[in-house]
Structures are given as C-alpha cells and as structure tokens.
Amino acid sequence: MALVLTDNNFQNQVLDSDKLCVVDFWATWCGPCLMIAPIIEQLADEYEGKAVIGKVDVDNNQHVAHKYGVRNIPTILFIKNGQVVDKQVGAVPKNVLEAKIRQHI
C-alpha cells in the first residue's frame, strides 16, 4: 500500500530515505489522478522493500507541493538521496513508471 505523505512526514519518509522514493502528487477531484491511483498501489506492493511509493494530497499538503513547484496533477516525482532525479506529469501507463523506477533504483 502506498504511504500517505504529508507536509509533516515528508522529510522523514522521503528526503531522509536511502531508497528511491516515488511520490504521486494528486487530489480527490482530479480524474487522471484517480485513473493512475490503482497503478500507484500496484507499484507500492511490487516494489515494497526496494522503493518507497507514496502519495501527497495537494489540497491538504500545499507546503510540499509548493516546494517542488507542482502546478499540474498528477505529478510524480522520483526522489533519491533527497534530490529529484526524474519527473512524470500526467497520467501514463504502468510500464512508463516502471521503466523510470528501474532506471533509478
């Protein structure tokens, strides 16, 4: 299951992690976000222990979204060692996200 990431736990769960972190910035009212939600959950299960997969609700966690300049959702950031190493904006098929994960894991 994907982690619920917030303004309060982002530092600990993502920036301080020694694993690749895949962070989905989304909102409940966003159609494309809801389309990829099952894919994010599948990736969280498949990469458990190898990568951190989490979701940030941009309506309730505006500080993190603002810090990373998230203007469109869904935006998926790939963060390693506290740095953004890749980015995907918009809904894409699972294989696109998997390729990015494999590239950076």
Task: Point out the residues that are catalytic.
Answer: 30, 33
Show Cβ contacts of residue 99 under 8 Å, excluding neighbours closer than 6 positions: none
Residue 60: how many other CB atoms lie within 10 Å: 12
Pairing of strands 83-89, 3-5: unpaired
Copy the structure tokens of residue 40: 């994010």
CB-based contact 12:68 (threshold 8 Å): no
Place of tokens 């989490």: 54
